[in-house]
A = this chain, B = another copy of it.
C-alpha cells in the first residue's frame, strides 16, 4: 500500500467527522474544513472505480465513463453551489479549475518529475490534439466576457443567450472529440491507455459490480459532503477574510482537483510525463468543453442566472495561464525550472486574486 493510499484512507475519517461537525453544530468553519478534507479521498476512490470499470467494459464505453467521471467532483460541487444560488463561486470555480490544472498540476508534475530526471519528454499527438481542443474551448467560454467587456449597453438577456449558444456548440464539439478519440483516431490513444494500465498495481480482472457500487456510493457521499461544503462556504470564508472570488478561483478547485494532482504528480515522478500532461491538459479541456456548458444549461433549467460572463480579471488570468502553459509545453520537453515557472505564475495569480477588491462585482 503506497503512502498516497494510506493518506487517502486516513482522510476517509473526515466523512463521519464532518457529519458530526454539521449535526452537532461545531461551527461553519470546522464543517467547511472537514467536508473539504472528506471530499479528497472520495474523489480519489471515484477515479479508481472508474478506471477499474474501464478495464472490464473496454475502451469504448470506458473512455466515455472516464471522460464523464473525470471531473465528476468539480461538477457535483458546482451543481450543488449552483442550486444554492452561489453563481459567483460556481463561475469562479470554472476559471479556477482551468488555471489550477494548467499551472499547479502541470507545474508540480514538472517540478517533482524534474528533480528526479534532468529532462523529461512528452510528444504524443494526443497532447497536441488536446491542447488545440482546450485552446478553442477556453477561448469560447471567455467570449461572452470579452464581448460584454468591450461593449456598452449589452443586456443580460443577450449575454445569457450567447452563453447558451456557446454552451450548445461546445457540447457538440465535446461529442465530436469523443468520436475522434474512440472511433476515427482511436489508435492514437492506445499508447496512453497502455501507460495507464501498466501503472496499475492489480492485474486481475476487476469485479465490475463491486466497483460500480463503489462509484455510486462515492458519488452520493461527494454530493452530501458538497452540500455541507457549500452551506458553510460563505460564513467560513468570510471568517477567513477571503472573497468569493478568491474562494472560487483558488480554494474550491484545489479541493475538487486533488485527485488529479495526486495522479499527475505520481506518474510524473515515474517519468510518465505524457500521462501527467494529459491529465493536466485533458482536465482543463474537459472543464471548458463539458463542465462549463453543462453548468450553463443546468442553470438555465433550474432558473439560476448562470452565464459565461466572468470577471474580466478571470479572463486575463485564464488567458495568461493558457499562454504560459502553451509556451512551456510546446516543445515537448520539461525540466524543474519550467515547473517552477508555472508555479511562480500560479503564485502571482494567487496574490492578485487575494488582493482583488471584494466589493467589485464578479460579473
Contact of A312 among B135, B151, B180 (CB under 8 A): B151
Chain B residues with Cβ below 8 Å from A315 are 150
- Tell me, yes or no, whether A216 is within 8 Å of chain B by CB: no
Q: Please give me the residue from chain B that is nearest to A313 by CB atom.
A: B150
Per-position contact with B for A329-363: 1 when CB-CB < 8 Å, else 0? Answer: 01101011110110011011101100111011000
Report the minimal beta-carbon distance from A293 to chain B, rounded to whole angstroms: 12
- Tell me, yes or no, whether A153 is within 8 Å of chain B by CB: yes
Chain B residues with Cβ below 8 Å from A131 are 327
Chain B residues with Cβ below 8 Å from A136 are 324, 341, 344-345
Q: If the complex has contacts A326-B327, A336-B184, A349-B143, are A355 and B152 also in contact, measured as CB distance less than 8 A?
A: no
Q: How far is the CA of A177 from the CA of B339 in the complex (A)?
A: 12
Q: If the complex has contacts A166-B351, A348-B140, A360-B153, are A135 and B340 also in contact, measured as CB distance less than 8 A?
A: no
Q: Please give me the residue from chain B that is nearest to A162 by CB atom.
A: B355
**Are B313 and A162 touching (Cβ within 8 A)?**
no
Per-position contact with B for A152-196: 1 when CB-CB < 8 Å, else 0? Answer: 111100100110011001101100110010001100000000000
Q: How far is the CA of A320 from the CA of B166 in the complex (A)?
A: 15
**Are B153 and A344 touching (Cβ within 8 A)?**
no
**Are A177 and B337 touching (Cβ within 8 A)?**
yes
- Tell me, yes or no, whether A84 is within 8 Å of chain B by CB: no
Q: How far is the CA of A81 from the CA of B281 in the complex (A)?
A: 45
Contact of A357 among B135, B153, B359 (CB under 8 A): B153
